[in-house]
Amino acid sequence: MEYFSLFQLNNLLRATLDTYLDPTYWVVAEVSELRNNASGHCYLELVEKDNGKVIAKVRANIWANIYSQLNRTFEASTGSRLSAGMTILCQVVVQFHEVYGLSFNIKAVDPQYTLGEKARMKQEVIQKLSSEGLLEANKMRTLPRVVQNVALITSPTAAGYEDFMAQLSQNKQNYHIQSKLYPSIMQGDGAIKSITQAILTCNKDTFDAIVLIRGGGSQIDLDCYDNYELSKAIASSNLPVITGIGHERDQSVCDLVAHSALKTPTAVAEFLLEKMSDFESLLDRYMVHFKSKSEQKLLLLQQQIEQQQLRLIQQSTALIKTQEFRLDNCLHKISQIAAFNIKTKTNHLHHLESKLSLLNPETILQKGYSITLYNGKPIKEKPVKGNSLTTITATHTIESTITQINNRNEQE
């Protein structure tokens, strides 16, 4: 029975591969692991996944004489050093070693493919958020004109945190903004879950806004801010989210869905302080406007009062004159009526005096008549014979004695 030793078979595989394979191939794969050797070599593990499941895997290396220049070129083009988690298009030499087995020797990496792949994945996230109506959702949240109480999501050891707090505390206007820190991982694989959980926690409390900040870093450190889950958490937040992630280049998806996006933590602090300053300026303008309007109103009211006073004086004067005229007419009428009544009464009195004068006994006596009194009274009762009578004439008083009394009716 013919057989091969393990070395012989592996050697045959090596020779066969060397004979029938092309010198190089361009391969698309995801970098699942990357380790830098002290000697300058780079060791990687490349994988291909289908729905998250690894369907192919191979070891790879980049020798030191190539790795240094390759990494510089890649970083200059993409803004990030070659690292785990990236999908790359690389030129490889397929190698088989009797001891170490199959591996790829990477000769070149196309940075444009990585940029395109990242852009494609980013665009897919944006389109998904757009289809769910989340791109503008957080922008619809009401950000107060003056933000006074914020939830601060960042790493307490980050330089960006110190910059933000220093900018707030050292403002010349002595504005005060209260902040509560929610410590979070701000880069790498753990950042997505950590920041998402912090956002959910903040929404259970009462704040004016959420401030999400971090310091500078490589482009790969910012890849988590293009993640769908984290972007959705920001977009769905009940509180407006302000970002200051510290990127220098393109806008991240998290920035895109946030209520307000600034470049750096310092810029976020300046944004909040500027809102306070703008509000104070607005109040000053309102005060000036209010003072001006009040003075104008007071002047107008004073003029109206003066006009009313003048009108009242004029009306009062006219009314007094009218009443004086009416009073003079009344007095004149009263005087005429009184004079007429006096004259009438005087005439009536004269008439009565005339009548009285006719009835006056003196007048009768002057005409030759006389008055006879019996016991000092006019004769009403029959006098007694022998008694005395008093007879009054115009010039004399005659005392006489009754000698005879005759009845006038009998005489007739």
306-344 pLDDT, tens digit each: 999 999 999 989 999 999 999 999 899 988 998 999 899
Strand partners, 398: 391
Instruction: Give the count of beta carbons closer than 10 Å to the beta carbon of residue 134.
Output: 17
| Nearest residue to 272 via CA among 161, 155, 171 | 171
Query: For position 221, what pLDDT does the model report?
Result: 67
Whether the model clears a pTM of 0.85, i.e. scores above it, the answer is no
| Nearest residue to 205 via CA among 225, 182, 175 | 182
SS (H, E, C) the chain: CCCCCHHHHHHHHHHHHHHHCCCCEEEEEEEEEEEECCCCCEEEEEEEEECCEEEEEEEEEECHHHHHHHHHHHHHHHCCCCCCCCEEEEEEEEEEECCCEEEEEEEEEEHHHHHHHHHHHHHHHHHHHHHCCCCCCHHHCCCCCCCCEEEEEECCCCHHHHHHHHHHHCCCCCCCCEEEEEECCCCCHHHHHHHHHHHHHHCCCCCCEEEEECCCCCHHHHHHHHCHHHHHHHHCCCCCEEEECCCCCCCCHHHHHCCEEECCHHHHHHHHHHHHHHHHHHHHHHHHHHHHHHHHHHHHHHHHHHHHHHHHHHHHHHHHHHHHHHHHHHHHHHHHHHHHHHHHHHHHHHHHHHHHHHHCHHHHHHCCCCEEEECCEECCCCCCCCCEEEEECCCCEEEEECCCCCCHHHHC
Rounded percentage of the chain residues whose pLDDT exceeds 70: 96
Query: For position 218, what pLDDT does the model report?
Result: 60
Q: What is the mean pLDDT of residues 244-256?
A: 81
Query: For position 249, what pLDDT does the model report?
Result: 61
- Residue 250's pLDDT band, with cuts at 50, 70 and 90, is low
Domain residue ranges in the chain: 6-122, 133-277, 364-411
Of 146-150, 249-253, 279-283, 295-299, the least confident: 249-253
Rounded percentage of the chain residues whose pLDDT exceeds 90: 59
412: pLDDT strictly greater than 80: no
Cα separation, 370 vs 393, in Å, equals 5
Give the tokens for residue 248.
């220098």
* Beta carbons of 92 and 25 less than 8 angstroms apart: yes
Q: What is the mean pLDDT of residues 146-170?
A: 92
Domain 6-122 has CATH 1.10.10.60: no
Instruction: Give the count of beta carbons closer than 10 Å to the beta carbon of residue 102.
Output: 13
Sheet holding 178-183, edge to edge: 178-183, 149-154, 209-213, 241-244, 260-262
Query: For position 383, what pLDDT does the model report?
Result: 73
| pLDDT tens by residue, 45-78 | 999 998 879 999 999 999 999 999 999 998 888 7
Q: What is the mean pLDDT of residues 110-121?
A: 85
- Amino acid identity at 256: L
- Residue 183's pLDDT band, with cuts at 50, 70 and 90, is very high
134: pLDDT strictly greater than 60: yes
Give the tokens for residue 232.
């959705």
Give the tokens for residue 275.
């809102």
18: pLDDT strictly greater than 90: no
| pLDDT tens by residue, 275-312 | 999 999 999 999 999 999 999 999 999 999 999 999 99
Residue 107 CB partners (closer than 8 Å, separation 6+) = 24, 66, 90, 91, 92, 93
* Domains 6-122 and 133-277 agree in fold: no
Cα separation, 277 vs 389, in Å, equals 133
Domain 133-277: give its CATH superfamily: Cobalamin-binding domain (3.40.50.280)
92: pLDDT strictly greater than 90: yes
Cα separation, 52 vs 260, in Å, equals 34
Q: What is the mean pLDDT of residues 186-211?
A: 92
Query: For position 114, what pLDDT does the model report?
Result: 83
Angle at 201 between CA 250 and CA 270, to 5 degrees: 45
| pLDDT tens by residue, 376-411 | 788 877 776 778 888 888 888 888 888 887 777 655
- Please give the torsion angle defined by the CA atoms of residues 247, 249, 251 and 253, in that order, rounded to the nearest 10 degrees: -70
Query: For position 375, what pLDDT does the model report?
Result: 81
